[in-house]
Each structure stands twice: as structure tokens, then as C-alpha cells.
Amino acid sequence: MTRYPLFSGQRLVWTALAAYSLGMLDSSPRVAVAAFIPYHLSILQNPSSSRSTVLFAKAAKNKKKGGKSGGAVAAGGIKGFGAAKISATSGDAVETDRSQSARRFYEYLEQQDAGDNLKKCALGFFPLSNDDTKLRGVVALRDIQKGEAIINIPYELAVNLGQEGGDPTLPAVELLKDYCQVMQSTDNNNNNQRKAYYDMLPPFRGNDCLGSTDFFSDEALEALQAPLVVEETLKRRERTKRRFEQEISAATETNTNNFPLWVDGSPVTQEHLQWAVWLITSRVLTVQGDAEEGRSYRLLIPFLDMCNHDRKSPHVLSGRAVPSGELKVVAGAAVKAGEQINICYGGGVAGNDRFLQDYGFLDSDVGAFEMVAQQILGKRRILEGAGAGAFIKEADKEATLKKLRSTTMEEDRALLASTTDNAMRSAIEFRLAVKKALSKQIVMQ
């Protein structure tokens, strides 16, 4: 598979133009020409080719929303009224989400010419662990063939937050403003119909966003034993603070732009903007626009952005940010009814340092920790943040290893067993798994 460099060859992402040659797409890549990448990755077209890249990627989220289910799924799709569960290949029944908010969202898709998606898939609840916790995701309602579009969203349904850039606080201001306006509006125009979609976003101060290092306490940040992660987290917090003071707080005080109030009628706070920044880093995709313009845009794509993460997912994202464009998840392998539709977040090149910062969860795949270990040992370029695009500096390497040596793995396990705070548990799980990966890497040297 071909690789194309980003930032003058300093950062690499897997491309999926080769998906056609690998048999993952039934049509030529000229048909599925577009680029999808998570917001925090940038894109560069192959300088020697007129073709665009299609990336294995996803803006994501670790959804743990509850919501009552008990609706029906018939052969015709989610709008049928038959059994409330569908059978997965494993024999386990998958509950579909038929809560009031989900029903409003399904109606919104119907109204916006995206209702055909509900004949193939819907929102469902999947077991997350051995307890009763369930993860909301996208479930297939029928068998789907390899090469078939699983999800197909009209470009006009996406929320366009402007051209691609490296600062997530800028589009976060626009998203927060639109969110407040839409959620308070009583009009029924097309823009305000987005309320049904915004209702499905992870809530402010919900467990999803609190899993990100942006919301960690100082104690939890220190517990990561990861100086570069802490440095980037603090820089993003400071950038968010400045953006709030410059564009929201100052404007409100001088009454220059009448920034809308929060949904409960109270003034918007810095913490609200911090939540919006997290929505940008965890859900927004950068999608190429018109090929001749050479521009990329930051999009929130309803339904498509509700797919969960699987590093081994074969499915491909395709489409362009152009009028009448179609933003798709294309099946890279056959899908059986009842199976969860997952996508690989982070373009397949993001490790758990990024997942914890940008999404708010840890990827259980050992490869996500091995990537962090390789960065620390100078075997892999840093993807994002301090030192992005380069190998770790020797001083940063030594500082990180010193932090990691400050506790033993036995001490980490004991502390993990006695800790109930979610952020602290994530921090300890992170450093413990990184130490395991480092031990493996050093042994292999």
C-alpha cells in the first residue's frame, strides 16, 4: 500500500487509494475520490498525481450514552414495527435505539433525504464489558455486501465548520455559537432542524468528554507519567482560555457580537468552549472539497460520526465536500445483520497518547500502546503536539523514561485496584500499558 507524506515528509498517514486494487471497492478509485481524515491530522495530495487520497480514518467518540430502547426493527428498516431486537451472527440479540431522541434523529434523516440509510442500519446498544454497561453504536439491519455503501449522507446535511486548520478552538467557537442558537430556537427551518442531531451529541460534562485529558485534574495529568501529553494538554487549555477571552467573554462584555446564551439561558462559559473543542477533536472530519480548488473543510457528519472505533475495521470513508456530494462509509468486507459498523479512528496511525487526549478513551488494541512506546524510544515520529513530525528529542525521551520509572508496574497495579476516580484510572492504565509495551520493545532490540 502506498504512503504519502504529510508536512514535507515528516508525518505519514495510510492512504486507501489502494483499496480498489486490494479488492475492497468494486469501483475505480476515481469514483470514490475524496479524503477523510480526523480533524487533528492534515492532508496533502500526492504531488505527482491528480488523484486524491481516500484515508482509513474517523472522527470519533467513545459513546456510552444510555437512552431507552425497545423499538422495532423489521426487514424494511428501522421504521418498521416488529421485533425490538435483531440477531447478531454470534447469536446475541442487539437492542436498537428507539428512544424519543433517536426517533427524532431518524425523522431528521428522513426529512433531509438520508432516510434510505435506515433501511440498512440504525443505532444500537452493544455490550462494553462483563457488567451491564452498553455502548451505543451503529448496527447493520440487514446483510451488506462488500463494496456497498453502508452509510451515505448528503454533503448538505453535514455541518461545515470552515476550512481545515491546526487550531481546534477556532471552529469550536463557530460550533458552540450554532449549537446555542439551534438548541434555543423554536423555528422549524432547515438549520434549526439540526436540533435533532445536536441532541445526539455527547452532552456537556458527560462521561464521554470527561475522559479526555483536557478535563483531567492536575493529579490525573501527573499520573500519566507522560510529559509531552501533559505539555500539549496544558497548551490546548491555554489556547482555549485565550480564545474564550478574545471572542466570547470580551465580545459579551462589550456587546459587540451578541454571542448566544447557553441552552438554559445562562452565559456561555470557558468550560462550554472546552467541551466544544473536544467535540472538534473527537468528531470532526477533514474532507477535501472541489479537486480544482484544493481546499479541505472541517465537517460534522450526522450518523456517520456515530460509528465506534475498531483499529482493524476494513471499512472505507469516501466523498467530497461539494454541493450534491455524498459522504459514505463503504463496506470493505461483507457485513452480517446485527453486526456493529465500526471505523478506524485516527487514520490507523494514532496511538493511545492521541486517543486519550482527543477522544477520551484508550484503545484496547496492543498496537495503540506499542505506537506510544516506539515514539518514546525514538523509533517513530511524533504524530501531533510538541515535536510533531519529528523524532522525540533526547531530553524529552529521558524525561519521559524518568517519569515512567518513578513507579513500578506492581505499584501501578496496586494503585489501580484501589482507585475509583475515572480519570486517575485511565492515567494509571495508560502508563501501565505503555511500560509493558516499552519492555517488549526493549527486549526486541
DSSP assignment of 211-249 equals TSGGG--HHHHHHT--HHHHHHHHHHHHHHHHHHIIIII
* Tens digits of residue pLDDT in 175-227: 999 999 999 988 766 667 899 999 999 999 999 999 999 999 999 999 999 99
Q: What is the rounded average pLDDT of the residues 114-128?
A: 94
Confidence at residue 132, expressed as pLDDT on a 0 to 100 scale: 74
Q: What is the rounded average pLDDT of the residues 328-349?
A: 94
Answer whether residue 359 shows pLDDT above 70: yes
Residue 444 backbone phi and psi in degrees, to 5: -75, -15
Confidence at residue 50, expressed as pLDDT on a 0 to 100 scale: 28
* Tens digits of residue pLDDT in 95-118: 999 999 999 999 999 999 999 999
User: What is the C-alpha to C-alpha distance for residues 105 and 301, in angstroms, rounded to an integer?
Assistant: 13
User: What is the C-alpha to C-alpha distance for residues 14 and 36, in angstroms, rounded to an integer?
Assistant: 12
The band of 279, judged by pLDDT with boundaries at 50, 70 and 90, is: very high
Confidence at residue 255, expressed as pLDDT on a 0 to 100 scale: 55
User: What is the C-alpha to C-alpha distance for residues 355 and 311, in angstroms, rounded to an integer?
Assistant: 12
User: What is the C-alpha to C-alpha distance for residues 5 and 14, in angstroms, rounded to an integer?
Assistant: 9
Answer whether residue 429 shows pLDDT above 80: yes
Confidence at residue 388, expressed as pLDDT on a 0 to 100 scale: 84
Contact between 309 and 342 (Cβ < 8 Å): yes
User: What is the C-alpha to C-alpha distance for residues 57 and 38, in angstroms, rounded to an integer?
Assistant: 6
Partners of residue 378 on adjacent β-strands: none
Residues 6+ apart with CB under 8 A from 112: 154, 156, 157, 190, 193
The band of 34, judged by pLDDT with boundaries at 50, 70 and 90, is: very low
Confidence at residue 107, expressed as pLDDT on a 0 to 100 scale: 96
Of 230, 238, 240, 225, which is closest to residue 274 (Cα–Cα)? 240
Q: What is the rounded average pLDDT of the residues 361-372?
A: 95
| Least confident range of 3-7, 273-277, 349-353 | 3-7
* 372, three cell numbers: 506510544
* Tens digits of residue pLDDT in 371-412: 999 999 999 999 887 788 899 999 999 999 999 999 999 999
Residue type (1 letter), 366? V
Q: What angle do CA 344, 212, 383 make, to 5 degrees?
A: 55
Residue 141 backbone phi and psi in degrees, to 5: -90, -15
The band of 9, judged by pLDDT with boundaries at 50, 70 and 90, is: very low
Confidence at residue 164, expressed as pLDDT on a 0 to 100 scale: 87
Contact between 105 and 197 (Cβ < 8 Å): yes
Q: In 104-141, which positions are buried (b, 16+ CB within 10 angstroms) versus exposed (e)?
A: ebbebbeebebbebbebbbbbbbebeeeeebbbbbbbb
User: What is the C-alpha to C-alpha distance for residues 141 and 124, in angstroms, rounded to an integer?
Assistant: 10
Q: What is the pTM of this model?
A: 0.81
Q: 309 or 15: which carries more pLDDT confidence?
A: 309
Query: To the nearest whole number, what is the mean pLDDT of the chain?
Result: 81
* Tens digits of residue pLDDT in 35-89: 455 444 432 222 233 222 222 223 333 434 333 333 333 334 544 323 345 655 5
Partners of residue 159 on adjacent β-strands: 300
Confidence at residue 384, expressed as pLDDT on a 0 to 100 scale: 81
Q: What is the rounded average pLDDT of the residues 334-353?
A: 94
Answer whether residue 329 shows pLDDT above 50: yes
Residues, the chain, total?
A: 445
Confidence at residue 36, expressed as pLDDT on a 0 to 100 scale: 52
Q: 254 or 47: which carries more pLDDT confidence?
A: 254
User: What is the C-alpha to C-alpha distance for residues 240 and 249, in angstroms, rounded to an integer?
Assistant: 12
Confidence at residue 256, expressed as pLDDT on a 0 to 100 scale: 58
Residue type (1 letter), 212? S
Confidence at residue 257, expressed as pLDDT on a 0 to 100 scale: 63
Q: Judging by DSSP bridges, how do beta strands 342-343 and 308-309 pair with one another?
A: parallel
Q: 99 or 133: which carries more pLDDT confidence?
A: 99
Q: Which residue has 515528516 as its cell numbers?
A: 10
Contact between 369 and 437 (Cβ < 8 Å): yes
Confidence at residue 55, expressed as pLDDT on a 0 to 100 scale: 25
Contact between 273 and 173 (Cβ < 8 Å): yes
Of 374, 362, 386, which is closest to residue 437 (Cα–Cα)? 374
Contact between 153 and 165 (Cβ < 8 Å): no
Q: Say whether 126 sits in a helix, a strand or coil.
A: strand
